[in-house]
Structure 1
Amino acid sequence: MPTYSHIAAYDAPVEDVWSWYDSKGAFRRIMPEWEGIRPVEAGALVNDATTRFKITLGPLRPTWVARHYGVVSGEVFNDVMEKGPFGAWDHEHRFVSTSAKTSEIHDTIQWKLPLHPLTFWTAPFTVKGRMKQMFAYRTLRVQEDIKRISQYADQPQQKVLVSGSTGLIGMQLCAFLQAAGHHVTRLVRPSTVLPSDVDDEPCVVWDDRKGEVIEGSLEGYDTVIHLAGLGIGDKRWNAKRKERIWSSRTVPTEHLVRLFATLEQPPKTFMCGSAVGFYGNRGNESLTESSSPGDDFLSEMCQAWEAAGAPAQDLGIRTVWLRTGLVTTPMGGALQQLMLPTLLGAGGPAGGGRQYYPWISLHDHIYATYHLMMNDACDGPYNLTAPEPVTQKQYAKTLGKVLLRPWFAPAPGFVLKIMFGELAQALVLSGQRVLPKRLQDSGFTFQHDHLESCLRQCLGKQKIP
């Protein structure tokens, strides 16, 4: 059978790298963002444990079933495909200590395509390039995760409660916190359906509209991270939709803080979602955390959202507001919406394209949240945006470059307003040139300062020799 080999080097002891791989969240962390993989079951690193996940092959969503075998803790594990799209797949992960502080993973895959004698010649076009991108992504993700975790290795593990844990950011944040060794509990509503690979994890169930805990307790958490809220760009806006967007953020936040006041052991830290919409439509003005708010719907909503969490400070709880920009990943958000038109050659400037897009990579958002969680000196609002904001036109041009597509087909503003109404003005035609001043002043360093490097990594378009 054909063999694919890859060696990844890490600036960490082999024990730390094995521990990361053996964590509950590791499987979600290493799945390439562009592949459309949906975990179903994540098996532990023990013999005969099974991992299941859905993959994307054009219009098909086949299930891949892998069984672990030959596990020697701290040294090696293998997984063999028992069901899936390949004719065969047998993957050895060997962990090698290269010094007291460095290590390598040697990956060796024996594989073949279905009907191998007839299809082997297609491998350079269908498989090998994807393998290279997958392992390049995996290597960078593990390297960066371990780097961020090691920065706080001398601090105790925390008990963390996360709302919005099934969302785009929440799922990856919980996975990262688990990989970092923290004890994660999900704050969910009775109607919440957890993905099957995490449905056995601890939860606190509450009625977020009434502020009543139904199952579990809020006592004794070190940090509460509150990310829940109705999707802003999911549907066209009307008066009812706007009211739901607003109340889904302010009401649960008010209830959480009220419940904190009743606890014998309230959280030490409260981290609450917010957004760069706080600043309103500001053109080319450079905006930092000290800039004044705007006066449109999203700005007023963000102000009310932050005000709902402010009483936590009066309780002596360190309170942090995460003013989030456009989280850039093909798994959701703005980039996911832009992929199809860009691939079709229609991803050009929107409404002239001069408005700023304050973007941030998904993983920089995760790392920034962790940085703020672990630093007791950090409180108040923080802009979670990349240090190099771009205009919408620059965003479209860069995305077209990465995807090898033309980017100049314009989308006139009046057409977008006809199609999407007020939503288009708020999310597409307005912009903010937001800078992460307080975040950088606190010592945080970005993995992705520049948009192109972010897009190449999250879309599987890295330049690999």
Structure 2
Amino acid sequence: MTSTLLWSLIAVQIAMGAFDTLYHHELTERLAWRPSQRGELRLHAVRNWLYALLFLTLGFVEPKGFLAWIVMGVLIVEVIITLMDFVEEDLSRRLPATERVNHTLLALNYGAILVLILPVLLGWAGEATGMAWVSHGAWSLLALIASLSVAVFGLRDWFAAERSERLGLASAAGLADALAPAQKILVTGGTGFVGQRLVASLAAAGHEVTVLTRDGAKAAALPAPLRVVTSLDQLPGDTRLDAIVNLAGEPIADGLWTRAKRRAILASRLRTTRRLAKLVARLDRPPSVVVSGSAVGWYGSRGDEGLVESSPAAPAFTHRVCEAWEREAMDIAAFGPRIVVLRTGLVLGVEGGLLARLLMPFEFGLGGRIGSGRQWMSWISRDDLVRLICHAVATPSPSGPVNATAPEPVRNADFSAFLARQLRRPVLLPLPARLLHGLGRDFADEMLLGGQRVLPQKALASGFRFRHVRLDTALASILGQDEGQEAPVHSAAMVAAGK
């Protein structure tokens, strides 16, 4: 039982399990905040508690007789739970390649552990029932640390599964109430964070949705009925489209802005928008409206100034990207459609975007303000953004740039405090501006340390009303802790006055 090989394999199992939990489950897949993973979280919780029992037993006890049979039973149950987990994962989500490889290595290593440990347990099973207390030195200390760790994460997964009951998304159908029945709408970027919710809302409301995507696997997970195309050339000239919503583009906040990343960010937006212009030009009847994406980065970093659609911009990489993207979209107006360009703020939801990245560190008490915390954050809930897109399609008045942000932007320090309060955690670890600038340069300066105080003047003037106006009530709703507070009503005049 004191075999160095066996303990080495156990140590490898612990290391790979820790990597799977921290990197995949917490950091990248964020399972604790995905309502669809309730069953997987419960399986993880039970398995973690079994691991805690096994590590304590192997580290400090030699179980004899009937107790050895119990340990073997636990090992078999762990295998059954793992197989159930594999099935649950395949049914509920698309695993990244690194997670599949890690799972394979975990299974192989666990098989090797079973080969070494079962003969020992069978030998102990033949002895009189009892326990002999032992110590394996550093290996026992490793077993204790691993046992406490997996027990804690088991509790986290169990409570996260219980919390997911409150995180279930409301029906998407009501988000498209502004649209007339049976609209025919083309959506680019329909597999993204915003696009998925938009497509779900349109399909649930009975509209005919066509999605342009290069990722067939992601498109297959979108709710039916819808049509998927991989090229706009697949749409003949007699295709009828009432509207086009253009959300496609390389994510701008998913990595440092290397030269290649900058080119990809700009090219992906211009390429798709130019192809849409060619499609509209050859259609027998062009759509009545094209809603195209942009971002509040158009304004650059403007300090405390309240920014409406007519405000000028400051030089910045984000401005250059958004300005070029908007110009390409506005050129489509020459073929007949009304053009709406949504300058979108930080989109909040647990399934993606900024909030999803912040949940893990804040939930573990590691969150804090960024830099001075005085920079403005112009935000909008994902459902309000979907509603605003539908409003822009259905309402004839808005055209040109439209700020897609809630009426009450907040400073970063306040954002951090609101989020920590909703999670019932302290705000402990601010991120120093000098460190961020040294690591991220322009990316950090524009995306983390800079900001814009953007006000949705045109949206409100056109009659749109936000469901989530204040950040505290928006976060309460998004995080499943809605207290039923009503948001104040803002008027276009109040926004124009910067209130």
The TM-score, its normalising length taken from structure 1, stands at 0.69
Contact residue 320 and residue 380 of structure 1 kept, 8 A: yes
- The whole-number CA distance in structure 1 between the counterparts of 2:164 and 2:445 is 41
CA distance, structure 1, for counterparts of residue 480 and residue 32 of structure 2: 6
CA contact (8 A) 2:250 2:269 kept: yes
User: Is the partner of 2:229 in helix, strand or coil?
Assistant: strand
Q: Secondary structure at the match of 2:371?
A: coil
Q: In 2, Cα distance between the equivalents of 1:35 and 1:198?
A: 20
**Which residue of the other structure, out of 168, 187, 191, is the alignment partner of 1:162?**
187
Gapped regions of structure 2 (runs ≥ 5): 1-30, 46-84, 92-154, 486-499
Residue 174 (structure 1) aligns with:
199
Corresponding residue for residue 187 of structure 1 = 212
Three-state SS of the structure 2 residue aligned to 1:63 is: helix
Alignment pair present for 1:400 and 2:420: yes
How far, CA to CA, are the matches of 2:384 and 2:216 in structure 1?
A: 30
Task: Name the counterpart of 1:357.
Answer: 377
- Secondary structure (helix, strand or coil) at the match of 2:282 reads coil
Q: How many Å separate the matches in 2 of 1:251 and 1:322?
A: 18
Task: State the distance in 1 between where 2:181 and 2:431 align.
Answer: 51
Provide the residue aligned with 1:315 in structure 2.
335
Partners of 1:235 and 1:426 in 2: CA distance: 13
Q: Which amino acid aligns with 1:371?
A: H
Map 1:382-401 → 2, pairs under 5 A: 382-401=402-421
Cα offset, 1:263, TM superposition: 1.7
Corresponding residue for residue 16 of structure 2: none
CA pair 404-63 structure 1, distance change in 2 beyond 3 A: same
CA 257–429 in structure 1, closer or farther in 2 if over 3 Å, else same: same
1:425 aligns to 2:445 (yes or no): yes
Aligned position for 2:308: 288
Higher helix share: 2
Quick one: distance in 1 between partners of 2:363 and 2:412?
A: 17
What is the DSSP-based 3-state SS (H/G/I as helix, E as strand, rest coil) of the residue aligned with 1:220?
A: coil
Q: 1:162 Cα shift?
A: 0.4
Task: State the alpha-carbon separation in 2 of the partners of residues 271 and 435 from structure 1.
Answer: 19
Counterpart-to-counterpart distance in 2, 1:156 and 1:127: 39
Shift of 1:196: 3.4
Letter of the 1:395 partner, please give it.
F
Give the counterpart letter for 2:314 in structure 1: G
Instruction: Judge conservation of contact 2:367–2:430 (CA < 8 Å) in 1.
Output: yes
* 2:368 alignment partner, one of 342, 348, 363: 348
Listed as ranges, the matches of 1:67-106 within 5 Å are none
> Cα 1:200–1:317, aligned 2, differ >3 Å: closer, same or farther?
closer
- Which runs of structure 2 are paired with 1:243-322 in the superposition (5 Å)? 243-322=263-342
2:261 is the alignment partner of 1:236: no
Greater percentage in strand: 1
1:38 is displaced (CA, Å) by: 4.4
- 1:460 is aligned to 480
Deviation of 1:325 after TM superposition, in Å, equals: 0.4
Query: Relative to structure 1, is the Cα distance of residues 446 and 192 closer, same or farther in structure 2, using a 3 angstrom cutoff?
Result: same
Deviation at 1:444, TM superposition (A): 0.6
Gap change, CA 1:403 and 1:318, over 3 Å in 2: same
Q: Percent identity?
A: 33
Gaps of 5+ in 1: 1-32, 40-52, 67-121, 207-211
Query: Structure 1 residues 173 and 217, CA, compared in 2 at 3 Å: closer, same or farther?
Result: farther
Query: Residue 276 of structure 1 contacts residue 325 of structure 1 at CA under 8 Å; is this kept in 2?
Result: yes
How many angstroms apart in 2 are the aligned matches of 1:300 and 1:335?
25
Using the alignment, how far apart are the partners of 1:197 and 1:174 within structure 2? 7
Q: Which amino acid aligns with 2:34?
A: G
State the SS of the aligned residue for 1:456: helix
Shift in Å at residue 129 of structure 1? 6.2
Q: 1:175: how far off?
A: 0.6
2:429 is aligned, of 401, 409, 424, to 409
Matched residue, 2:73: none
Q: Is the 8 A contact 1:133 1:462 kept in 2?
A: no
Return the alpha-carbon distance in structure 2 between the equivalents of residues 230 and 128 of structure 1. 32
Q: Over the residues paired in the alignment, what is the CA RMSD in angstroms?
A: 3.0
Post-superposition offset of 1:324: 0.6
Q: How far apart, CA to CA, are the structure 2 residues paired with 1:422 and 1:431?
A: 13
Per-residue CA deviation, residues 138-185 of structure 1 (Å, 9 max, x unaligned), is: 6xx34x953x55555xx3421000000000000000111112221111
Paired residue secondary structure (1:213): helix
- Cα distance, 1:459–1:190 mapped onto 2, change above 3 Å: closer
1:222 Cα deviation from its structure 2 partner: 0.4
Distance 1:264 1:217, change over 3 A: closer
- 1:393 and 1:343 map into 2 onto residues whose CA distance is 17
